[in-house]
Each structure stands twice: as structure tokens, then as C-alpha cells.
A and B are shown apart, each in its own frame.
Chain A
């Protein structure tokens, strides 16, 4: 292979170029900005790409700091994209919803502030399913994102914009959010690394809430090492988020060793069940064999209640969403529809502002919380959630990590599930259990099925990011997926 283009490189390689003076931040950011400007019309990964001037001015500032002898962190001067449900001060944040069009928040999300402090240069805001509700990014009010491996297929969702952007080399890394699989599933479908940290590991302050007890912010990256670097930058206690864990952030990069000797890995049979495509199953089975070759001790196990995950999720998540989205009334921000009084204005604003999937979930959730139904739905779902948590706790007494497919299928054609909510919801059948239990889970590319990526999911115990990153890194080193690029990335170079 000849010298790779800058946009083909992961963060750690770019950082080395910067540190050695072989490339400037300005050159690197320009390469990605140009690439994004050229390629994004095919993908629609970005809802907003910042101006070249603004991006390069920030990059130049980092170059000057480096020239002045300032020690630079691993993200300094490097471009990162943000899912458009992260609050950015003075920069429009829409959640891909008409109801937030034109809304410029007055404050930065904690993760945004932390990346800024680390010197990252924000390239743009990426597309998502409206309010992160979806598994294909087709529910964006501003049009779908396409999968760089096959422009006729979805990138997954809801963080499809971030996944597609990283896969196509429009940016080396991005942040997403994961409520039921919204980082891992698009990472799998786009052939990149995606990490959902433990609930509480990363502050949610400034993440526009979908389902507060499930939402978690995490990174998309080219490889596991970059995901570890990003996690280190954004993780840690935050006084502004009462659910953030008061736990110090370990040096995740330390975890990345090639050897898995002695590691006990379980494969929960419930996550290989109905709906998992044969090719996906085979690809994940091969990955598990490889883990064994790397020294891990892999055996089958069971999470007896995991089979109820989808049912539990589709009560709890819409219930919380129905409350979280009540604030969008057009009174304080966002477009306001005309109405004779508050109630009619409120109703019209929401009818015009929310798309059908968001409306569906608000109705589902409102119903589940209603007097007379609360016990039968919300309360019961919480009880089953406790059982699922317990299943995981028991499994982690015997195993250091669990593995499963990230998504039951590879990327599906655009439009194929939009009219069939249940089929769409089934996309997250393998990823939802980790959200319900609040556990960290990583998706690492593990193969191709008919030219489309398959993801291996590695689930860890609470705050066991070190372990799953170690498994992911070792697997990635040994896997033959390394170096595979979506065809558009190869051609588009």
C-alpha cells in the first residue's frame, strides 16, 4: 500500500504525525474538511459542517501552541464530529427534529466541554433518527444518512451520521449516544468501532434526553485504541449529572494488550436467537473461535430473562421519552405554531414539530404511565429489568466478558423497515440488554457478509471498560477485517 491519505488514518496515527511535525493540525483538519465536503453529498452524514475558516482557525491555534512548546494531548488539533443531540453553545442543535430547528443552546454539554479542553476541533454535527428514536437514521426530519458500504442501505441508527462519517473517512472519530444500541448497531453496520460506556461513566449533562435511565454517550472510532482515547477524554464524574459515577477514570490505553490468556468469556445463547442472520451468526462464531485462539476461555452461557429485553425496553424507553419530550412546547425555544391559546398552540407546535416515530413513542409512553396501566406496564417492565440485571450479575460471577452479535442483521435497504416499526425495533434485539443493565458494551467489526460489515459485541461488567477494550483490541489485531474500507472510501480517495 502506498502512503495513506491523512483522512484514512486513525487518531493515534494523526497524533504521531502532529507530534513529530510531519503534519500540522491545519493540514489534517483541512484534509478531513475537504473530504467531508466532497463526500457528504452522497452520504448526508452531517446535518451541519462548520465553515472551513472556523475549523482551520482552531487547528492553526493548536499548531501555534505546539510551536510554542505546549505539550499536546492525544486529541489536540484533531477533528471530531458530534451527534446533533449534544448541546453546543451557540451552535444549532436540532436532534434532527423540526421542533428544534434554529435552536442555539446557551451551553456546552459536559462531553463537548471536555473535548474542547482536550483541544479537539469540531468538524460538524451528525445526523440521527429524530430524538435518537430509530435504528436506521431514516427518521431524521432532514433526510436519511446512507451507508458508505452500500449507498442503497441504511447506516443503522440512531447515530447513523457519526458511524457513516467515521466509516467513510469524513472524520477520524465522533461521538454518539446509545439508548438501545444507537452507537453499537450503526458501528456494526458501518464497520467501525463503537463503545457504549457503563451507565454513569460519562456525564449525560447536555445530551438531549430520550430515555434518561438508558441514555449514554460514547465514541465512534476507526479502532479500539482511538475509542479508548476518546472515552478517557469524556469520562469521569460530573457535578452537573447526579447519575454520573464518582469513580476516577483509569488509563484505558493501558488495557490494550494482544493477549487474552486466562480471560473467561461467555456467549449468552439468548443473544444468538431468533432473527440473527445465518451469515452474522457464522461471522460472530468465527470471531469467538479467534478469541479462543488468543487465549480466552470461551463457553456458552445463559441470560434467562434477556428474551424479554425488547418488550421491557419498549415500555421503559417510551415512558421516559414521553416525559422528557414534554418540554418541547414552543414557549421558550424552537418554532412555535399559531394557536388561540396555550393548549392549541402547544398541540399544533408538537403536531408540526415531531415526526411520526417520535409521536408514536410519546403516545406509547403516555399510555404506559397512565393511571390504571402503570402497574401492568411500567412497573412490571421495571421488575423484569431487575431480573435482567440480575442475570448479567450472575453471568459476571463466572465470566470476565460476554460476546454476542451487535446486530442480528447486516445493513438493510433504505425504506425496507420504515413502515414496519416492529421489524425496525427488532434491529436492537442484541444490543438492548446492555442498556437495560447499564453495562458497557463495545462493537468491533468482525467480518463481511456479502460485502457488508458484521459487528462483534463485547459486553462487560459495570465499569469493566478496561476488559472489553482489551478483548476488542486483541481481536482487532488478530482479525482480518483490519484495513478493510467501504468501497466508496477506496474509490473516493
Chain B
């Protein structure tokens, strides 16, 4: 098996969250009763004609620009002809010869810190199909729901730069994050607003020719993409080792059984009889328009990642913040404290508490300002880290200002050297035998004595001051 290198090319469909459909004014919303968002155009009634939704073009451009694509000066639509009950015109309006964007790339950060660059071949616009219904219709019949028919999609075709199932998953997750940042889609694999097909082949390691392509479909989560590809790599590897020929085909991933199965032979290439859509003229994309769209793009994940790393975060911590834009936004709103402690208080302490309560970062009662204040109290030595965590418990439960909580509960750290020296002497007097242990070289005894001072001050003593006072008293 290790003699073969997987070659994986991903094709991704992203449903754009425009208000209306790609070529008509029907609502593009998801979840309405069947066939309520339909009109003569998206039902393909005779005589009805498509008109391009400008918003969808803007969204496609946003996505393309975020992926460093070259926006075409002139783009065209083509008809992709095939028959299926959920395709009411008998063709899908897509883009073939002149897609809105070509080229581009995305940088995939692996957990080990290495970076994989995956090139993008093209990004084009098309309309979604309807959905066949097999439930809620009389037995032996099928229904079709055309609500989804005509919803705008972009298809992103990547070069076969991916060589492991894990990298395929990471690539897809990176793409998802980028699209999420552009705001053009909610990119949810489970709901079908992000769909991925993968072309997989194996070749002897160290060679450059491509093996026979197998297309894998029906992977409905990031995890299933990795699992399906792992299965497929194993299957093809075993077949090749057994001297078998790989069939050119489409295979479906069966999540439950954990296998792919052949769904269609592709020994003969599909003939979609593409030709330019005569109902739509060429779309000239003025450079000023491209610039205007580019100007509306927010900071993108790659830039954000770099900014965080430059501010002192580890690549991993930066990645956690980048992957979850609301979390990153919360982080960005934390002010006046070092980045590393801000990140740790946010992603470990606050997020841990929110997760335990089933709350989200967008709905918590803790504001970035309040968390900033809390971190400043700890950093400035007003309270200890331990007390800070108790205060955060209170903030998560009831909201409120950390300074007020500290004040009301009298939790201010004791940093008064005179007062603490008294406490230290009392503890030493009360634990003479432990002092003896310490003097006879038992290092552990020191920790016990620190603990006793902290206990006596209900945790409010400044730990480093306690340390130095103890050492002074013990003459060590």
C-alpha cells in the first residue's frame, strides 16, 4: 500500500445565500413547503426566460477574489444538457467556456505547522436543481420539489494537489472558513450548502502520471470526506496490488456501512452537449466593478492568521480563533492585555465554561470589555489567576463587571507585605515540624507552607509575595 500515492482533486459546490434565485425573483430560502418558491422561470415553463441575478454574480466574485482567482473580463453562461426529473428545462444553466474566475489557490495549515497550497483551476456560476421526493407521496410514485431549483451555486474545481485523505478534509475545512468569511454562504455540509465530490486515483509513489480516476460522491460531512477517501485509497491500493484494473466510475459513499459502492460507470465520457446559453448575453465585468467588490471583502482567514501569529499567538491558537469568526471577533475586541493571555482566557476559560453550559460565544453575557477587565485584574496582580477563574464563573452565570464582583466579594489580592508577613509568621509558628522538614531538605514542605498561607488568606494572598516572604523567614 505504501508504494502508492493518492492523487485527489476536489470539486466543491457552494450554495450562495442570495435573497432570490439565480435567474428569477423567487425566494432562495431553504425549508419552505414543497413547490412554494416557484415561478414560470424556475419551473422551466415554455416561453419563460432567465435573467441573471446581479447579487449572485457579486457573491461569486467575492468568493473568487477570496481564493485569489482572476475574474474574467467577460463571462458567459452555457447550457449543460441532460435529462432528470428534477431538472425542469432539460438543461442546467452553467458556465463552461468562460467561467467568472480562473486560477487561484488556498493555503492549508496542517496541525504540524506545515502548509499545503492547493491550486484552484476555475470557479463558475450555475443554478441548483430541484429535489426528488420519495416521502410524503403515494407509494410507487415520486415527487419533485422545485424550491431549490434555480438557487445560485458556485462550483470550485481544484487541481489534484492533495495527496492524503486528511489533507482533503483540511483543504475542505480551509475552503469552508474562507467562504464563511466572504459571507456569501453559510457553507453547511450537513444541510447541503457545501457539497464535495472527490476524484481519486493512485499512482506508484514517485511517479507523475495519473491513474484511473474514480469519482466519489455523497460525502455529507468533513469527517465522511476523510473516511470515504481513506476507504477508497485502501480499496484501490488493494486492487492494484492484486493486479486488478481500476474501473473509471462514480462511487457513492455509504456513511453507515463505511464503504463506497459503484453507482455509475464512466467508461464513456458524459456528453452534456454544452453550448452558449442564447437567452443570456455575455456579461462584461468592468474592472471598476471587480475593485468595488474586492473593497468590500473583510480581512480573510490567511491574513487574520498571520496577524495573530505576529501578535504572539501560536499557529494552533491562531487557527482556533480564525476558524470560528465570532470567536475571532470576540478576541479582537479584547483590549489592553497581552495576546497570549487574552487567547487563553477566551479559548480555554470562557469557551470551556460556555461549552459546559451549552452556550455560544455570540450569546454569552460576558462581553469582551468585561473579559478584558478581568484579565487586567489578574495581570495587574489585583486578584490571583485562581480568583480570576472564580470571578469568571460568576460572570458567565450572571454577567456583570469583574471589578464590581471582586469588590463586592472582597476578593482583592493581599499584596501588603506587612500584613502578609504576619500571616507567614503565624503559619511558621503553627507548623514547626514542617519547618523542620524543610530545613532537613524536604522541598515538598515549602509548597505545603505556601498552601497554608493561601488558605489563611482565603486565596487572596499574592502568591509570589508569599513565596519570597516565606523564603526570607526561613532564611533559605
Q: How many residues of chain A get a CB closer than 8 Å to chain B's CBs?
A: 44
Does A68 reach chain B (CB closer than 8 Å)? no
Query: Do the beta carbons of B81 and A332 come within 8 Å of each other?
Result: no
Name the segment of B208-216, B267-275, B393-401 touching the other chain: B267-275
Query: Do the beta carbons of B46 and A100 come within 8 Å of each other?
Result: yes
Query: Do the beta carbons of B269 and A106 come within 8 Å of each other?
Result: no
Residues of chain B with a CB closer than 8 A to A479's CB: none
Does A162 reach chain B (CB closer than 8 Å)? no
Name the segment of B87-95, B342-350, B421-429 touching the other chain: B87-95
* Known contacts A105-B45, A208-B47, A241-B49, A370 near B85 by CB under 8 Å: no
Query: Do the beta carbons of B275 and A378 come within 8 Å of each other?
Result: yes
Query: Do the beta carbons of B81 and A369 come within 8 Å of each other?
Result: yes
Query: Do the beta carbons of A242 and B281 come within 8 Å of each other?
Result: yes
Query: Do the beta carbons of B281 and A327 come within 8 Å of each other?
Result: no
- Chain B residues 81 to 103 lying within 8 A of chain A, measured CB to CB, are 81, 83-85, 88-91
Query: Do the beta carbons of A329 and B83 come within 8 Å of each other?
Result: yes
* Closest chain A residue, CB of each to CB of B24: A240
Given B85, B273, B274, which contacts A331 in the complex, CB threshold below 8 Å? B85
Does B333 reach chain A (CB closer than 8 Å)? no
Query: For the complex, would chain A's binding face be called helix, strand, loop or mixed by DSSP majority?
Result: loop
Residue of A93, A327, A329, A332 with most partner-chain B CB within 10 A: A327
Does B380 reach chain A (CB closer than 8 Å)? no
* Closest chain A residue, CB of each to CB of B270: A371
Does A346 reach chain B (CB closer than 8 Å)? yes
* Closest chain B residue, CB of each to CB of A331: B85
Query: Do the beta carbons of A87 and B49 come within 8 Å of each other?
Result: no
| Docked CA distance A105–B40 (Å) | 9
Does A320 reach chain B (CB closer than 8 Å)? yes
Query: Do the beta carbons of A323 and B49 come within 8 Å of each other?
Result: no
Query: Do the beta carbons of A371 and B90 come within 8 Å of each other?
Result: no
Query: Do the beta carbons of A106 and B89 come within 8 Å of each other?
Result: no
Does B72 reach chain A (CB closer than 8 Å)? no
Query: Do the beta carbons of A326 and B85 come within 8 Å of each other?
Result: no
Residues of chain B with a CB closer than 8 A to A331's CB: 85, 88, 144
* Known contacts A319-B275, A323-B91, A332-B43, A371 near B269 by CB under 8 Å: yes
Q: Total A-B pairs in contact (CB under 8 Å)?
A: 105
Query: Do the beta carbons of A105 and B275 come within 8 Å of each other?
Result: no
Interface string of B264-305 (1 = CB under 8 A from A): 000001010111001111000000000000000000000000
Name the segment of A31-39, A168-176, A199-207 touching the other chain: A199-207
Does B51 reach chain A (CB closer than 8 Å)? yes
Does B169 reach chain A (CB closer than 8 Å)? no
Residues of chain A with a CB closer than 8 A to B279's CB: 209, 212, 242-243
* Closest chain A residue, CB of each to CB of B91: A323
Residues of chain A with a CB closer than 8 A to B43's CB: 332
Residues of chain B with a CB closer than 8 A to A209's CB: 46-47, 279
Given A106, A109, A205, A323, which contacts B79 in the complex, CB threshold below 8 Å? A323
* Known contacts A212-B279, A333-B45, A106 near B81 by CB under 8 Å: no
Given A205, A323, A370, which contacts B90 in the complex, CB threshold below 8 Å? A323
Query: Do the beta carbons of B281 and A243 come within 8 Å of each other?
Result: yes
Does A239 reach chain B (CB closer than 8 Å)? yes
Interface string of A322-357 (1 = CB under 8 A from B): 110111010111000000001100100000000000
Chain B: number of interface residues, binned into ranges: 20 to 34
Interface string of A81-121 (1 = CB under 8 A from B): 00000110000010100001001011101000000000000
Does B238 reach chain A (CB closer than 8 Å)? no
Given B40, B47, B273, B281, which contacts A366 in the complex, CB threshold below 8 Å? B273
User: Separation in Å of the B284 CB from the closest CB of chain A?
Assistant: 13
- Chain A residues 122 to 174 lying within 8 A of chain B, measured CB to CB, are none
- Chain A residues 235 to 257 lying within 8 A of chain B, measured CB to CB, are 239-243
* Known contacts A323-B79, A323-B81, A329-B90, A205 near B275 by CB under 8 Å: no
Query: Do the beta carbons of A107 and B45 come within 8 Å of each other?
Result: yes
Interface string of A297-325 (1 = CB under 8 A from B): 00000000000000000000001101101
* Known contacts A105-B46, A106-B45, A320-B278, A242 near B85 by CB under 8 Å: no
| Docked CA distance A86–B278 (Å) | 19
Does B50 reach chain A (CB closer than 8 Å)? yes
Does A374 reach chain B (CB closer than 8 Å)? yes
Residues of chain B with a CB closer than 8 A to A366's CB: 273
Residues of chain B with a CB closer than 8 A to A106's CB: 40, 45
| Docked CA distance A86–B44 (Å) | 15
* Closest chain B residue, CB of each to CB of A206: B47
Residues of chain A with a CB closer than 8 A to B51's CB: 239-242
Query: Do the beta carbons of A323 and B275 come within 8 Å of each other?
Result: yes
| Docked CA distance A86–B88 (Å) | 20
Does A213 reach chain B (CB closer than 8 Å)? yes
Query: For the complex, would chain B's binding face be called helix, strand, loop or mixed by DSSP majority?
Result: loop
Given B46, B88, B269, B280, which contacts A242 in the complex, CB threshold below 8 Å? B280
Does B335 reach chain A (CB closer than 8 Å)? no
Residues of chain A with a CB closer than 8 A to B275's CB: 319-320, 323, 369, 374, 378
Residues of chain A with a CB closer than 8 A to B49's CB: 204-205, 240-243
| Docked CA distance A103–B51 (Å) | 24
Given B47, B84, B278, which contacts A205 in the complex, CB threshold below 8 Å? B47
Does B239 reach chain A (CB closer than 8 Å)? no
Query: Do the beta carbons of B278 and A212 come within 8 Å of each other?
Result: yes
Residues of chain A with a CB closer than 8 A to B81's CB: 322-323, 326, 369
Query: Do the beta carbons of B47 and A369 come within 8 Å of each other?
Result: no
- Chain B residues 64 to 89 lying within 8 A of chain A, measured CB to CB, are 79, 81, 83-85, 88-89
User: Separation in Å of the A105 CB from the closest CB of chain B?
Assistant: 6
User: Separation in Å of the B57 CB from the closest CB of chain A?
Assistant: 13
Query: Do the beta carbons of A370 and B47 come within 8 Å of each other?
Result: no
Residues of chain B with a CB closer than 8 A to A346's CB: 83
Does B339 reach chain A (CB closer than 8 Å)? no
* Closest chain B residue, CB of each to CB of A93: B46
Does B48 reach chain A (CB closer than 8 Å)? yes
User: Separation in Å of the A81 CB from the closest CB of chain B?
Assistant: 18
- Chain A residues 36 to 66 lying within 8 A of chain B, measured CB to CB, are none
Interface string of B382-415 (1 = CB under 8 A from A): 0000000000000000000000000000000000
Does B465 reach chain A (CB closer than 8 Å)? no
| Docked CA distance A95–B198 (Å) | 44
Interface string of A435-455 (1 = CB under 8 A from B): 000000000000000000000
Does B351 reach chain A (CB closer than 8 Å)? no
* Closest chain A residue, CB of each to CB of B51: A242
| Docked CA distance A208–B271 (Å) | 26
Query: Do the beta carbons of A208 and B46 come within 8 Å of each other?
Result: yes
Given A87, A322, A342, A369, which contacts B46 in the complex, CB threshold below 8 Å? A87
Does B52 reach chain A (CB closer than 8 Å)? yes
* Known contacts A369-B81, A369-B275, A374-B275, A327 near B88 by CB under 8 Å: yes
Residues of chain B with a CB closer than 8 A to A205's CB: 47-49
| Docked CA distance A243–B77 (Å) | 13
| Docked CA distance A31–B194 (Å) | 63
Interface string of B132-160 (1 = CB under 8 A from A): 00000000000010000000000000000
| Docked CA distance A325–B46 (Å) | 9
Given A242, A332, A374, which contacts B50 in the complex, CB threshold below 8 Å? A242
Between A and B, 26 residue pairs with Cβ closer than 8 Å are A87-B40, A93-B46, A105-B45, A206-B48, A208-B46, A212-B278, A212-B279, A240-B49, A242-B51, A242-B281, A243-B49, A319-B275, A320-B275, A323-B79, A326-B83, A326-B90, A326-B91, A327-B46, A329-B90, A331-B88, A331-B144, A332-B44, A342-B85, A369-B274, A371-B269, A374-B275
Q: 3 closest Cβ contacts across the A-B interface?
A: A326-B90, A369-B273, A212-B278
Interface on B for A, CB 8 Å cutoff? 40, 43-52, 79, 81, 83-85, 88-91, 144, 269, 271, 273-275, 278-281
Interface on A for B, CB 8 Å cutoff? 86-87, 93, 95, 100, 103, 105-107, 109, 204-209, 211-213, 239-243, 319-320, 322-323, 325-327, 329, 331-333, 342-343, 346, 366, 369-371, 374, 378
A243-B280, A342-B84, A366-B273 known; 16 new pairs, CB 8 Å cut-off, are A87-B45, A107-B45, A107-B48, A205-B48, A206-B47, A206-B48, A242-B280, A326-B81, A326-B83, A326-B91, A329-B85, A332-B44, A332-B45, A369-B274, A371-B271, A374-B275
